[in-house]
Amino acid sequence: MTKTWFITGASSGLGRIMTEKLLDRGDRVIGTARRTDALSDLASAHADRLHVVPLDLIDTAAVRAAIDQAFERVGRIDVVVSNAGYGLFGAGEELSDEQIDRQIATNLTGSIQLVRASLPHLRSQGGGRIVQVSSEGGQIAYPGFSLYHASKWGIEGFVEAVAQEVAPFGIDFIIAEPGPTGTNFGAALDHAELSEIYEETPAGKVRRLIAGGEFVIRGDAANTVDAIIEAADSDHPPLRLALGSTAYENIRAALTKRLDALEAQRDIALSADDKED
């Protein structure tokens, strides 16, 4: 059955590959991008099934208008894919206020507002699905990516709560969590101004790995997109979808470590209860 998808950040990376694959199988796509000319080739080849919308997620009014116009244009949207975002690298102390504000405005606030704008329409049509593209960085943390992690941990918490709120309306969510994947994520990183103070710290080590091209990337972008589409097509998708061996291994190790730490604190935790209960 042909589906209609709304995809942010459709001009590059996973969003571009997803748009191509969906069009190739005959689906309809409303794709957003800050530079719509980056999708001109696909728009020409699939003029009847691809509608391109200029959008920057930091503009909340534009996000609402884009969603409203999309539903008005096609009537029903089966899957909303919140994909647009980027990485910010630098020790927390190194980052500028402007870099922090834009990272949160794009990755967190922008994604939140996209979801909020979509919900009334999905309720009205009797349900639908929202795919939030997060990362393994929504459950683990690398030194040097503090604000990126803040945005991803934040959106995952928001989605987990909202998913419970709207389940009675037939709306469900998938949080996609790719590990390092062969996209242009690294090339598009925003970097803080380097401080020598952090050169010999874990943040400095990660910086050197990135600069030297030594950061191990196991994930395949096309396979990652295939897995997301398959989950979005399924009747009962998981709330969280780890993608790639690195994501699986790192998330599993982080959860195991946190669970072990929690169990070790059991007596302390219980001691904080009201003893008269």
Tell me if residue 248 is catalytic: no
* Structure letter (DSSP) for residue 104: I
CA distance 159 to 3: 23
The per-type count for the chain, helices as H runs and strands as E runs, is 10, 9
Tokens representing residue 4 in the block:
């209609």
Tell me if residue 86 is catalytic: no
Annotated catalytic residue within 3, 118, 142, 148: 148
CA distance 262 to 256: 10
CA distance 140 to 206: 15
Annotated catalytic residue within 11, 12, 118, 134: 134
Residues in the chain: 277
The total of other beta-carbon atoms located within 10 Å of residue 187's CB is: 7
Tell me if residue 148 is catalytic: yes
Tokens representing residue 192 in the block:
């803080």
* Structure letter (DSSP) for residue 219: B
Tokens representing residue 211 in the block:
């600069």
Task: Estimate the crossing angle of helix 221-233 against helix 13-24, to 10 degrees.
Answer: 60
The total of other beta-carbon atoms located within 10 Å of residue 197's CB is: 12
Annotated catalytic residue within 11, 146, 152, 198: 152
C-alpha triplet 5, 32, 52: angle, nearest 5°: 85
Tokens representing residue 122 in the block:
């999905």
Query: Which residues are catalytic, by number?
Result: 134, 148, 152
